[in-house]
Structure 1
């Protein structure tokens, strides 16, 4: 006799299908890993086959799993509609977002803070990550990446444009002189990412346009770049939306160098949940409000 299909197993599967990891689903649902595993096993026993298959990038949904996902989303939507009809807030649960540091501080934190004020039952987790888009589900609902992503089975939308430009402190320029041409930068330490740690081709190309640097301070943190530049350690290659508003910094070779970039948002399977869709809309609204769109 086939085992009966349990609703909690179906909804647990939906969390794993969206996040790609048992551990991430367990955190969102307030469960432990073994409970998630047991519920997925029960679902597969009831459906008579595999709903998820392990890949190098996490768990991916099988054709049978897509049937289960459609059923789970239908239940989810019905529960959401019932909550709305009875005065409940449809924007609730947890949204996990991976984004670069600079974007998080300048755009993401203000956007989700306002969203949370309007929807206090919504939990948001922000994970610092400056890397290329993941090809598989990765334990997050929303990814912010630098450059137009090339990814399958995902919804991608542009968020805003910006440029990397050159900056220095007034003290540094007084000591070392103001460069008047790009080739003169070969005499100045350039403050930027650790080359071996860069995972984003567009960020790597920004440094390739500049001459080789004398020994300098390099870091995986953009805020370390800003602070080292402000402290007079050299010429920083910095996002203009951060550096232009920092009174400690002076633009260098403004007309000669700018490396244009863009931020994109990536959502697996489209912004299906109300919470993810609301987060994405809040982000776009904030970017428009500050004139960065």
Structure 2
């Protein structure tokens, strides 16, 4: 049967269960037939996906314990379908109901139950360990601890401590290794001393703060307590200069003292027109002040003698 037809028929079963009001009741659902199998079939996979990609997509419905992505025996390329096993059989119901008919990388997936999963026969020369992994999976198995009383647990802890103490220490004649170990011991001791000194300083500051509170109980000792370890300082020393609080002060904005003349051969016509307007405004301002508005004298420093005008 066409895979798309199977997908449609499967979705119709789910719609019928919703209409009958038995959706979610596994005892009356069509999923009950596959209650003893935690394997699902996944078809229509993109050929570029690996086992890890498939697990990352389908692991949102439960813990995956085994996967068998069918590959070509000669080339090793994926054939586009696989068998996947969940740790809990209820995860198969979720994956079948939610992923059957979805589009993954522009390909429609077909997800269905597998009633009886059989180990693939395309690798008959596989060793026993590989076959066991195919059948049982590679998920970590739960460790079964024996039932122990509280007294037995305490005794076991004591034995473990004794074993740890009985471990022989490292004995070596290597001078470099010994120097490194000695340096580490010294560093640990220095850290301990620093911690002790910090604790002593904190205790001393607390005592001073209590004495000052007793002398003047009406004072604001919260702010004063913060400055005990650093000493009283001014605001400028603590926060530095802050121009945000310079209210009312005039800020002198320095403008251009001269009008830069553009290169008429290379400049855009808009810049030239702007320069002309600014130049006319400067002339009008000079005329209002009674200054001369004659053109600038020719800059002789930039002209060679053979080009200079002889006036």
TM-score by length of 2: 0.16
Q: Which has the larger radius of gyration?
A: 2
Between the two structures, name the one with larger relative contact order (CA 8 Å, sep ≥ 6): 1
TM-score by length of 1: 0.17
